[in-house]
Amino acid sequence: MSLNIVPLVDAPFGALVSGWEPTEPLTSRSKRSINEALHRHRLLVFRGQPQPSDQDLVRFVEAFGDPIRGSEWFRNAGALPEILPVTNIRGEDGDRLGVEGATDLEWHADYSYAATPAKTSFLNAVELPPEPPRTYFTDMYAAYATLEPALQARLSGLRATHSIADYMAEPDKNFAAKIERDEAAGIERPDIPEAEHPVVVHHPDTGEAILYVSRGITRRIVGMERAESSALLKELHLHATRPDQVYGHDWQVGDLVMFDTLGTMHRRDAWDPTERRLMRQLSTACVI
C-alpha cells in the first residue's frame, strides 16, 4: 500500500491520509509513517478507502497498541468487544446497540476516567444523518505550550479527578437497566470508575507535555478548594478551546479519524435524533 499524507487545509493541525487498504496487513514501513504522522499532526483523517470490516478495523488498531474492550466497558453485546458502537440506532427488539444519545457531547479525552486511559483513538463513520454533527478537536500539547510560564509552574505536581458518573446517569439513562440485565445473566463487566491523573502528563512515546484536563470529565483539582479548582479548570478550558485552535471535522461515510487521545480533546455537536447515525469507536490503552 502506498500512503499519501498531507496536512489538512485551513486547520490548526491534522492531516489527510489516502491510499490505506484496510484488507491488507500494515507493513512496518506504513505503520512507522502513520505513527510519525500522528505525532506530528495529532489527528489523521483516512478518507476514500473501502469501509473496513470489523475484523480489519480491530487488526489495524492492534498494530498501534493494546485495544480497550470498549463494548465491555459500556455493557454492549457486540461480537468484537474492542468495537464500541456510538449510535442512536436500536435493534429490532428495541435493544441498545451501543453508547446512545444524539445530544452534544462536552469536551473530553476518551477513557480519562480510567486508570489506564486511551492513548490513541479511532472513530469510523458507518452511517450518517443528512446533516451530520461535526466533531471538534483541540491540541492539548499546544494548549500546554502556550500557557504563561507562571501558570505552567502552578500546574506542576497538581492532580485532578476524572469521572463520567454524571454522564452515565443522564444521556445513558438506561445504563442501570444494562447492569441489571448483565447481573441477571451472570455477566461480569468492569465498573465505570473514576480516576486521578496529573494535570500535566507526558506522552509515553515522545515525552511531550500535555495539558490533561477536560470540561466534560475532569471534576476537580485534588486538594484544592472547590471554587479555586473550578476557576482554574475554567481558565484552562477557555485557553485550550480558543476558536482558532479548534479543528471541526465534517464527516463523510467511510472516514476513519485516528487521533492522539492523550494529546487532544474532542467534542460533538447534537443532531436530529430521528435521523440515524452509527460510528465505530476504538481506543488503545496506555499507562501515564
| Residues in touch with Fe ion (CB under 5 A) | 110
Q: Give the contacts of 227 (CB within 8 A, at least 6 positions apart).
A: none
CB 20 → Fe ion: shortest distance, Å?
A: 22
**Complex with Fe ion: residue 100 or 110, whichever CB lies closer:** 110
Nearer to Fe ion by C-beta: 72 or 110?
110
The two counts, helices (H) then strands (E), for the chain are 8, 16
Cβ-defined contacts of 86-95 (< 8 Å, 24+):
86/123, 86/278, 86/279, 86/280, 86/281, 87/127, 87/276, 87/277, 87/278, 87/279, 88/273, 88/276, 88/277, 89/127, 89/276, 89/277, 89/278
Cβ-based nearer residue to Fe ion, 75 or 267? 267
For the CB of residue 35, give the shortest distance to Fe ion in the complex, in Å.
21
* CB of 288 vs Fe ion, minimal distance in Å: 17
Q: How far is the CB of 182 from Fe ion (least distance, A)?
A: 23
CA angle 188, 193, 197 (to 5 degrees): 140
Smallest gap from residue 133 Cβ to Fe ion (A): 13
Closer CB to Fe ion, residue 37 or residue 118? 118
DSSP 8-state assignment for residue 94: S
Q: Which is nearer to Fe ion, 105 or 160 (CB)?
A: 105
Q: Which residue is nearest to Fe ion (CB)?
A: 110
C-alpha cell at 203: 506522552
